[in-house]
Homo-oligomer: A and B are copies of this chain.
Amino acid sequence: MLDKGGITEGALGLIEKKGYDGLTMAALARSLNVAPSALYNHVKSKRDVLLLVEDHLASLVDVSAFGAGPWEDAVRKWAWSYRDVFSRHTPLIPVIAVLPVTDAPQTLAMYETVSSGFRDAGFPEERIVSSIVALESFIFGSAYDVTAPADIFDPGTMAEATPSFTGAVRSLAEQGHERPADVAFSLGLEALISGLGGLRG
């Protein structure tokens, strides 16, 4: 019996094997051993499939610390987990960043827990969504950064023409951080937590 859970699982398997470019309705029907028409009974388009995948990924994001400890710790745990999940699925970012949440129950469940946590921490009602959006924008951008090549800031033949930037890139490299993306993420996240935290009444 084909259902949305099975379609989601099939899509995740296909993405794992062939990447997001390999995810087509025809390939998905084949991998599920069903006729395309059977698949179309449940999902109208690849976009619908991506919505299912996105909603599944939202269920993997760790919101467990909201309501169980200080707001700062809860945001920290949520944000790192959110970034890690989507850094393995960056082709979804352009989709989810503009996707209405209407038919995504797990995504809505995540937002419900997070917004409750913000309210209980004393955020004014009308600033909760904007604060979450600001954090998510940072998280989505940072998910890409995880996948950036190590030499992304190599100025090449322009090193002499860009002494300030080249010096800063070298100085960071000399720190020998194993994951420079984590350093930038931590810097930005702590700045956001401390800055947004100031909105609490």
Q: Does A40 contact B (CB under 8 A)?
A: no
Contact in complex: A156, B115 (CB < 8 Å) = no
Residues of B contacting A128 in the complex (Cβ-Cβ under 8 angstroms): 168, 171-172
Main secondary structure of the interface of A (DSSP, over half): helix
* Contact A137 to B129, CB < 8 A, known contacts A158-B108, A192-B195: no
Name the contact of A108 in the complex, choosing from B142, B147, B155, B198 (C-beta under 8 A).
B155
Q: A141-B142, A190-B195, A191-B195 are in contact. List 19 more A-B contacts (CB 8 A).
A: A100-B153, A101-B153, A102-B155, A102-B157, A108-B158, A108-B161, A108-B162, A111-B162, A112-B164, A114-B165, A126-B174, A127-B187, A128-B168, A129-B184, A130-B183, A134-B191, A137-B184, A138-B138, A138-B141
A interface residue numbers (CB < 8 A to B): 90-91, 93-94, 97-103, 105, 108-109, 111-112, 114-116, 118-119, 125-131, 133-142, 144-145, 147-149, 151-158, 161-165, 167-169, 171-172, 174-175, 180-181, 183-185, 187-188, 190-192, 194-196, 198-199
